[in-house]
Amino acid sequence: MKFLLITLFLVSATVSTYAQAPTLGVYGREDRYTLNPGDVLDIQYRYTPEFNQTVTIQPDGFISLEIGGDLKVAGRNLTQVRTLILSKARERLASPELNVILKEFQKPYVVVAGEVVTPGKFELRERMTAIQALLLAGGFKDSAKSSQILVFRKLNADTAEVTSLDFKTLKKTADLENDLTLQAGDMILVPRNRLSKVERYVRLASMATFVNPLLR
């Protein structure tokens, strides 16, 4: 299965390889929290409590409401979701007032897969780099291709951006110029076979069979 996934990326477009440390923002430092599948919301109407609901955001990003029907809320913050629900509620209620409360949320995480000692899902509690994530996963196996570590970063529901990192000399030097600051949802794949060229953007559906067991 691992080999099958890797072959999906063998195409003519060359992936970018960092020569200097990328400057990417750290998850959650400035922006308000945006909702994700699995988050649980309490929706409370002030004057019509019979419409109160506790809903879980589905894998496709939608919730189902008694007033408003199916709404896509993943990727929005609580203020935006409240405005969206109110606009739908006004179609049935005269002057609705409601609160939207985040009851439970999915903790940010990264996934490390492939030729590492302990592949899996790791909670992203603070700033974490690719090297730190690999160390949490127990480091490389002898079969790892450490000169071409792939980092997949989700852009939207269908597509992820692919970045290639070269950690071949990691055991020989303290130079971390090729390291990368991770963001929530990033997946690191350590391949077994040599990959000279991979597609810069990939369809997330092609990764599902390989990644889903790690998220359970």
Range of the domain at 155: 2-28+108-215
Closest to 45 in 3D by CA, of 71, 66, 70: 66
> What number is the average pLDDT over the span 12-34?
44
My answer on whether 117 and 210 are in the same domain is: yes
74: in domain: yes
Number of domains within the chain: 2
More confident call, 98 vs 171: 98
Instruction: Express each pLDDT in 103-140 by its tens digit.
Output: 988 788 899 999 999 999 998 888 899 999 999 999 99
208-215, Cβ contacts within 8 angstroms, sequence gap of 24 or more: 209/1, 209/5, 210/1, 210/2, 210/5, 210/113, 211/111, 211/113, 211/187, 214/111, 214/113, 214/119, 214/120, 214/121, 215/111, 215/121
State both tokens at 76.
């929005």
My answer on whether 168 and 192 are in the same domain is: yes
My answer on whether 92 and 168 are in the same domain is: no
- pLDDT of 64 strictly over 90: yes
CATH number of the domain within which 16 lies: 3.10.560.10
Q: Which of 52, 77, 104 is the last residue of a domain?
A: 104
Q: Which of 74, 104, 134 is the last residue of a domain?
A: 104
Least confident piece of the model among 97-106, 141-150, 187-196: 187-196
pLDDT band at 56 (very low <50, low <70, confident <90, very high): very high
pLDDT value, residue 208: 59
pLDDT value, residue 166: 86
Main-chain dihedrals φ then ψ at residue 63, nearest 5 degrees: -125, 155
My answer on whether 125 and 208 are in the same domain is: yes
Q: b/e per residue, 134-147, with b = 16+ CB within 10 A?
A: bebbebbeeebbbb
Which neighbouring-strand residues pair with 54?
42
DSSP letter at 164 equals E
Report the percentage of the chain scoring pLDDT > 70.
69
> What number is the average pLDDT over the span 11-33?
41
- pLDDT of 99 strictly over 90: yes
My answer on whether 96 and 145 are in the same domain is: no
My answer on whether 64 and 89 are in the same domain is: yes
pLDDT band at 8 (very low <50, low <70, confident <90, very high): very low
35: in domain: no
My answer on whether 52 and 155 are in the same domain is: no
pTM (2 d.p.): 0.54
Q: Which of 104, 119, 152 is the last residue of a domain?
A: 104
> What number is the average pLDDT over the span 195-215?
60
First to last CA, the chain: 18
Say how far apart CA 130 and CA 108 lie, in whole Å.
15
pLDDT value, residue 107: 82
My answer on whether 47 and 136 are in the same domain is: no
CATH number of the domain within which 69 lies: 3.30.1950.10
My answer on whether 211 and 138 are in the same domain is: yes
- pLDDT of 16 strictly over 50: no
